[in-house]
Amino acid sequence: MKLIFQPRYWNHINGWLLVLPAVFMISLFTHFPIGSNVFHSLFSMGTATRPEAFIGLENYKYLMDDDIFWKVLSNNLVYSLCTVPISIAIALCMALLINRNIRGRSLVRMAFFTPTVLPMIAVANIWLFFYTPEYGLFDQIFTVFGGDSHNWLGNPDSALYCLIVMVIWKESGFFMVFYLAALQQLSPELKEAGLVEGSGSWYYFRRVTFPLLMPTTLFVMVNAVVNSFKLVDHLVIMTKGGPDNASSLLLYYIYENAFSFWDTSYAATLTVILVLILAIITVIQFVVVEKRIHYQ
């Protein structure tokens, strides 16, 4: 292939040739399956005796009446509402601490970041043991202080929150990195001006640092929300969504439907909902980002 700069149409052809392989692959595994999902959600599941048939919105009607779906969706909401703000707050604290000139700061930074590079599966294995009744670390600590043994993951009231704690641990360090990057881009002159002008640390944080980190917070927030819909690896190891779907999340429910119950058309229906949710998040992000005040 010889790329030529000069004539106008060559620019078009070259441009297209360059992006084509990647665009083809992306559409094959992103755009095509989105369409195909919508398509398959309108059909019934084919079986050996009965071929698949067009059933219109039947799957969606079923979905509306599916208690497990609503359970899973509300779980996902709780999961997002807990993990996102808390891990962002912790990430911000971590970044602020590390951005100070403290002793051993690269060690501390490493400690914070380590969970990020570990596979979720490995993390789930470790935490599974922490939550094990009687032998587990938490129960051992608990019994030392005279508490009773708990079946942390086996109890529908606590299972989801146990996972939330673990995910916060796993993700905070990742988000911290974005804050660190943003903090390093703030001019030290601003801090000095604040010092000369007599602003206390809290006042300075509230009036300057936090507002200036707003774009980062938005970026991290969108990432965190998307992650909370995407990250279900640990469920496979720790709870399998149970007990009684108390800790199940939307993507895990999709996975179960497709690969445990082999109901791919219902799984496709659920996927359409998940894609819709993600699309809404994207739109919200764009609107907010567009509205965001420009500076510099």
**According to CB under 8 A, which residues from 179 to 208 bind other proteins?**
180-182, 184-185, 187, 189-190, 192-200, 203-204, 207-208
- Shortest Cβ 81–other proteins spacing (Å): 20
- Of 62 and 129, the one with the shorter C-beta distance to other proteins is 129
Would you give the distance in Å from CA 229 to the centre of its chain? 5
Whether the Cβ atoms of residue 193 and residue 257 lie closer than 8 Å to each other: no
Beta carbon of residue 51, minimum distance to other proteins (angstroms, whole number): 16
**Neighbour tally for 107: CB within 10 Å:** 9
**Residue 211: cis peptide before it, omega within 30 degrees of 0:** no
**Total number of residues that touch other proteins (CB under 8 A):** 125
Candidates 60-68, 73-81, 142-150, 247-255: pick the segment binding other proteins (CB under 8 A). 247-255
Closest CA to 253 of 46, 103, 75: 75
Give the footprint of other proteins on residues 22-41 (CB under 8 A).
22-34, 36-37, 40
Q: Which of 62, 70, 129, 261 binds other proteins (CB under 8 A)?
A: 129
Selected binder of other proteins within 73, 82, 163, 251 (CB under 8 A): 251
Length of the chain as a residue count: 296
Of 57 and 118, nearer to other proteins (C-beta) is 118
User: Cα separation of 236 and 254, whole Å?
Assistant: 13
Q: Name which position in 68, 78, 108, 221 contacts other proteins (CB under 8 A).
A: 108
Write out the two tokens for 4.
Answer: 């030529």
Rg from Cα positions in the chain: 24
Residues 77-96 within binding reach of other proteins (CB under 8 A): 93-94
142 touches 149 (CB < 8 A): yes
- Residue span binding other proteins (CB under 8 A) among the ranges 56-64, 71-79, 80-88, 269-277: 269-277
Specify the stretch interacting with other proteins by CB under 8 A; choose among 42-50, 53-61, 74-82, 171-179: 171-179
* Inter-residue contact 131 to 138 (CB < 8 Å): yes
Q: Which of 119, 144, 145, 157 binds other proteins (CB under 8 A)?
A: 119
Supply 79's token pair: 């999961």
Question: Is there binding between residue 241 and other proteins (CB under 8 A)?
Answer: no
The nearest distance, CB 19 to other proteins, in angstroms, is 4
**Contact 100/184 with Cβ under 8 angstroms?**
no
If one counts every other C-beta atom within 10 angstroms of the C-beta of residue 257, the result is 21
